[in-house]
Every structure is written in C-alpha cells, then in structure tokens.
C-alpha cells in the first residue's frame, strides 16, 4: 500500500488487515525511530485497532537506519508473520493464513524489500564523505543532479546524509542497482506482490497536509522535539531526519518563527508528496485505488483487489 504523505495509507492498511487477516509492516524512513511519534505521523495504538504492526520504534534516532537495515528487519517480520499461519488459523478460525501488508510512502524501502530494486553494493568511502560533509545541501543537490539526474528527482533535497550517500553511489565505478518489473511469476522477484496505490487529487492532498499539520501542532509536536533534544538528540541530527524535524530543529534554535515553522513544514510536505508520486509512477504494476480511501467505495475497491489476489 503506497502513496504520498497524508493520502490515507495507514487507515486503509488497517482496514485491509482486519478484513484479510493481515499484519502491517510500516515502510516509513522516520517511523522506525523511537520517539519520533507525532512529527512522523506514527500510527497510535488506538489507530492500530488491534492489528499487529512491525518496523515501528526499532532504532535509536541518534543512529542511522539504512534501507539495507529496513530490508533485513522486514524480511524477519515477514518470516514471523507467515510462519504463524497455523496458530493464526486455529485461534481466529481464519480460512486464509495471515498476510504481510507493507504500508508506507518511502518508495526506496518498499522497492528494495519487494524486489523492484537491488540495493547498490557500494562500500562507504570515508574520505569522500568527509569532503562532501563540508558542502551545503544546495551544493550537494546540484552535484547529484549532474551525476544522477533520476535520483535527484526523487531524493529529499535537504537531507544531507542521503545526498552524500547518493553521490557516493553515483561516483562508484562498479555499483549494482537494478530495477525489477515486479510481475507475478517473475523469478527475479522475491515475493508475489499486489501493489495498491493512493493518489488524491492536488486540492484534496494539500487540504489533508494542512489539516494534519494543524492536528500535529495541537497534539504537541513542538514539545516532542524538545523532549528528543533533552534526551540527547542533537539539533544537527534532528535536521538530518528531515521534513518536520528539520524545521522543528530550526525553530527550537530560534532560527525561524512559529509562522515560518508552519509554512516550511506545509511546503516541505507538499514537495515531498510530489517526489513520492514521481517515484511511484515508475511502477507500472500499481493498482491505483480510484475512490477516496476513507470512503465506502474506496475500501470496497481495495478489498476486492486484495481478496482476488489472495484467492489467485
């Protein structure tokens, strides 16, 4: 279940899990970190509605969690979910075994896990990293656009760590990065996959982003960032986490005003949503749910596709 930020993936994922007997694997590059709850939009216990969720709160925000880490953790989660089928069927009298449902907007993570891409086997280049670290994000992004224009279209342009890693990969002479087609039955794919996607129209998505921002501010997003810093998360690292946390770090250091904080987060999320859609549009196997995901028609459409896939 993929789509841009604020498109309704989490709630529709829970609905499908309830109806199909599944467990959710969160594919979000910020929700893996402990303590990044409000700012990352992490699903709450109430919103989980009893559905098991994996890949939440598995890493310290002080440390980097890579796509390779995500794949390894998720593969273990998939194994745990699928191997529990006998217990699940006996307990819940279900006709189908539990199914892993990957839900998230970090396209690089989902593609790496589900076999659309093979992660580049590029070792760290400490000397290059030290050189790149001296550059601004604007300079790094400009360099990446020259080296790898396609990656520049989908990367978060203010995420310094990811920019450095992307340049490191682009400059490596024998990097391995392949893209799969993800057709069912293709031996190169790791799993049989049904791709469902959500893409609200521009007006709806912008409204969702604005409404969600106001809700997060009311829930205490600024206070959350203060707690993270008080517990040892540096402002530099907070900025590296991107999006809301980058702006929150600037606000707490009094570099921007409250109004600028809100404007920057809203603008950043909209630009992020556009980058996400550019990434997902490259996948021809996504079945785009035509109706709103929170509507009866949207849920019915997604459930019909899921049940047909599981039956086949």
| Domain match, 204 and 291 both | yes
Answer for the pair 247, 41: CB distance below 8 angstroms, yes or no: no
| Domain match, 170 and 183 both | no
| Domain match, 72 and 199 both | yes
| Domain match, 247 and 269 both | yes
**How many structural domains are present in the chain?**
2
* 286-288 and 195-197 beta bridge pairing: parallel
| Domain match, 22 and 170 both | no
| Domain match, 132 and 165 both | yes
81-107 pLDDT, tens digit per residue, is 988 655 445 444 455 678 999 999 999
Confidence of residue 174 (pLDDT cuts 50, 70, 90): low
Confidence of residue 55 (pLDDT cuts 50, 70, 90): very high
Question: What's the CATH number where 28 sits?
Answer: 3.40.50.300
Residue labelled with tokens 């396209």: 107
| Domain match, 63 and 210 both | yes
Residue labelled with tokens 């002080």: 62
| Domain match, 46 and 188 both | yes
The CA-atom distances, in angstroms, between 261 and each of 128, 207, 213 are 33, 18, 11
Answer for the pair 206, 184: CB distance below 8 angstroms, yes or no: no
159 or 275, higher pLDDT: 275
| Domain match, 201 and 306 both | yes
As a whole number of angstroms, the distance between CA 184 and CA 195 comes to: 11
The CA-atom distances, in angstroms, between 312 and each of 16, 194, 306 are 17, 11, 10
End of a domain among 148, 176, 204?
176
pTM of the full structure: 0.85
Confidence of residue 184 (pLDDT cuts 50, 70, 90): very low
> Kind and range of the H or E element at 287?
strand 286-288
Boundaries of domain holding 135: 120-176
The CA-atom distances, in angstroms, between 18 and each of 24, 32, 67 are 10, 23, 28
Non-local CB neighbours of 301 within 8 Å, separated by 6+ positions: 289, 290, 291
| Domain match, 128 and 89 both | no
């Amino acid at each position: 279940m993929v789509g841009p930020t604020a498109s309704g993936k989490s709630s529709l994922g829970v609905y499908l899990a309830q109806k199909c007997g599944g467990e959710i694997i969160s594919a979000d590059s910020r929700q893996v970190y402990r303590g990044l709850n409000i700012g990352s939009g992490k699903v709450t216990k109430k919103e989980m509605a009893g559905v098991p969720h994996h890949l939440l709160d598995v890493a310290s925000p002080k440390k980097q969690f890579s796509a390779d880490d995500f794949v390894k953790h998720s593969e273990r989660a998939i194994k745990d979910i699928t191997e529990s089928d006998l217990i699940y069927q006996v307990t819940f009298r279900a006709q189908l075994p539990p199914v892993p449902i990957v839900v998230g907007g970090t396209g690089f993570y989902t593609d790496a896990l589900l076999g659309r891409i093979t992660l580049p086997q590029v070792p760290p280049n400490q000397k290059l990293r030290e050189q790149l670290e001296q550059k601004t994000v604007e300079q790094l992004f400009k360099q990446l656009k020259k080296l790898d224009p396609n990656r520049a279209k989908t990367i978060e342009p203010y995420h310094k760590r990811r920019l450095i890693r992307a340049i490191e990969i682009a400059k490596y002479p024998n990097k391995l990065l392949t893209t799969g087609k993800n057709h069912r039955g293709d031996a190169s794919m790791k799993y049989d996959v049904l791709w469902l996607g959500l893409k609200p129209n521009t007006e709806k998505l912008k409204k969702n982003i604005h409404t969600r921002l106001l809700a997060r501010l009311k829930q205490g997003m600024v206070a959350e960032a203060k707690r993270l810093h008080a517990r040892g998360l540096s402002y530099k690292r907070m900025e590296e986490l991107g999006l809301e946390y980058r702006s929150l770090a600037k606000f707490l250091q009094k570099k921007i005003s409250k109004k600028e904080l809100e404007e920057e987060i809203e603008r950043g999320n909209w630009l992020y949503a556009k980058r996400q859609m550019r990434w997902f549009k490259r996948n021809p196997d996504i079945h785009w749910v035509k109706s709103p995901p929170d509507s009866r028609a949207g849920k019915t459409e997604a459930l019909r596709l899921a049940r047909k896939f599981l039956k086949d």
